[in-house]
Structure 1
Amino acid sequence: LWSGVLALVLGTLMALARTSPRPFRRMVGAAYVELVRNLPPLVLVFLGYFFLGSQLAAALDLHARVLALPPWGRDLLDLLLGPPSQFPELLSAVLLLGLLEGAYVTEIVRAGINSLEREQWEASCALGFTRGQQLRFVILPQALARMLPALAGQFISTVKDSAIVAVISVQELTFQAMELSAATYRTFEIWLTVLGLYLVLNALFSLLARRLEARLARRLGRIGA
């Protein structure tokens, strides 16, 4: 979930950079996409864990900060993020998955923005909108309806790709299945259950995305009428 949110935010920012009229911003966005898409995900996960997550957690002194929270705050963090002892691994997983998936979200959002007719930009410019207002009120609402199916597919891909962080002992579904399989030797039953859980979870996301897409289409249709 947190990786998907980070990927959406990062991907949107990089897509805005890639469609910016300023060459330097376009160069930064293109460099990010090309760098991330051409590196092996597993290598990035290990690099992020050993050189980013653990160092960042130590620099921020996360463990001491968590202990300084009131009991209800620690309980809330435990519910949302897991046990504090797993924070370095979780931080690495969220940052790395968000970084990896953000590159693909960047291209989806960029394609959605570029799919709109040039007249949309010209009409909003004629109304005196700044570029930020053009994006906020005219371009992005229409682009969202067009790119929502691809974004939903990418979010589902993020859920599936989360299995890769089991290699750094993040206690997600695949890691728990590996631990349970080693303890019970019921390999077939456990992995069949994991398969079913992933299938149900992703099917629910797909259904939610289709309903949201239909709702946006109806809303834009009413506005156009």
Structure 2
Amino acid sequence: MPKFLKRLHWLDILILVILAVFVAVIWVRIDGTLNYKWRWDRIPNYILRYSTKYETWVPNVLLQGFIATIRISIFASILALILGVILGIARCSTNLTVRMLARTYLEFLRNIPPIVVIFIFYFFLSEQLITALNIESWARGIARQENNAVWEFLFGDMRRFPSLVSGIIVLALFESAFVGEIVRAGIQSIPKGQHEAAKSIGMGRIDTLRYIVLPQALKKVTPPLANQFITLVKDSAIISLISVQELTFKTVELVASTRLIFEAWLTTAALYFVLCFSLSMLFRRLERKSDQR
């Protein structure tokens, strides 16, 4: 702590003071002007509650939504990375048709508001896919089984599995456009001399891409990909609009039923901050270890 204080510049201290004054002013206006009655003592019960059935503490509304957000973010990021790598490779293809199809997909998603994209994918693709694969009846069958602990650990309540899948697919398809552009930039940053050197020793285009270009490109784009993953966590709040029961959706339900407006939303903001800041610190440490090798 003393080392941290020594590193603070006078400008840092000034900014912290300004922020503290800003928070104090907002607090006074809410408490005085709006005559709002704070009820922070009720918030912990909506994070954890004691279950008389299991005789232990179990997640309540906010923590359930927080866990669902983590699940959605992990699965959506994996799918977005796979699709993004494919799109990034397609953007650098020598085939004009493949290159233009990939570019059309990327430009379409990058130049349309996220909410519009979410609804388009949800109603025209995600719902159709779930119906075609009969995922809903399959998930209900799993939910009726007694030995479904592994499924519930991975996906939560299996009765809501179709909604979870919809959210993952929609979010991954949207984020894959940005991942694809990052991967494309990484591939194009590799010097042409390496392509020519690989060609001179008899390596084909696929082998060159697999063994030489992609390993270097992915290493270069790791920082922006990490940042995109954090952005994906925050963007996951958008899928609450299609009734995916993640943290934002649960917060809306909590506010509607309890009128704990400021307490619920400030707690939700704190949970998002803890998750995103922790990921930021983790990725920063991984980058430092990668640079030291």
- Normalized against structure 2, the TM-score is what? 0.69
The letter of the residue matching 2:191 is E
The letter of the residue matching 1:214 is R
Q: Counterparts in 2 of 1:125-140, with a 5 A limit?
A: 125-140=199-214
* 1:89-113 per-position Cα deviation (integer Å, ceiling 9, x unaligned): 2222111111111111111011011
* Residue 109 of structure 2 is aligned to residue 26 of structure 1: no
Name the residue aligned to 1:215.
289
The letter of the residue matching 2:86 is L
SS of 1:171's equivalent in the other structure is coil
- In 2, Cα distance between equivalents of 1:133 and 1:214: 30
Counterpart of 1:193 (choices 255, 267, 279) is 267
Q: Is the Cα contact below 8 Å between 1:145 and 1:213 reproduced in 2?
A: no
* 1:115-174 per-position Cα deviation (integer Å, ceiling 9, x unaligned): 121112112222322222222222122222221111111111110000011111111111
- In 2, Cα distance between equivalents of 1:109 and 1:187: 41
Q: Counterparts in 2 of 1:83-94, with a 5 A limit?
A: 83-94=157-168
The letter of the residue matching 2:249 is F
Name the residue aligned to 2:111.
38
RMSD: 1.8
Q: Which stretch shifts more, 3-12 or 76-85?
A: 76-85
- In 2, Cα distance between equivalents of 1:181 and 1:68: 33
Counterpart of 2:181 (choices 75, 89, 107) is 107
Shift in Å, 1:67: 4.4
Q: Counterparts in 2 of 1:1-225, with a 5 A limit?
A: 1-69=74-142, 71-72=146-147, 74-219=148-293
Larger helix share, 1 or 2: 1
The letter of the residue matching 2:106 is V
The letter of the residue matching 2:89 is L
The letter of the residue matching 2:112 is L
Q: Is the Cα contact below 8 Å between 1:53 and 1:89 reproduced in 2?
A: no
Q: Which stretch shifts more, 120-129 or 109-118?
A: 120-129
SS of 1:150's equivalent in the other structure is helix
Q: Which runs of 5+ in 1 are unaligned?
A: 220-225
**% identical equivalent positions:** 44
SS of 2:117's equivalent in the other structure is helix
Name the residue aligned to 1:222.
none
Change (3 A) 1:93 1:66: closer
The letter of the residue matching 1:79 is F
- In 2, Cα distance between equivalents of 1:88 and 1:51: 15
- In 2, Cα distance between equivalents of 1:144 and 1:212: 14
- In 2, Cα distance between equivalents of 1:195 and 1:67: 33
Q: Which runs of 5+ in 2 are unaligned?
A: 1-73
- In 2, Cα distance between equivalents of 1:51 and 1:145: 35
Q: Is the Cα contact below 8 Å between 2:121 and 2:170 reproduced in 1?
A: yes
- In 1, Cα distance between equivalents of 2:289 and 2:94: 32
- In 2, Cα distance between equivalents of 1:123 and 1:71: 59
Pair member with larger Rg: 2
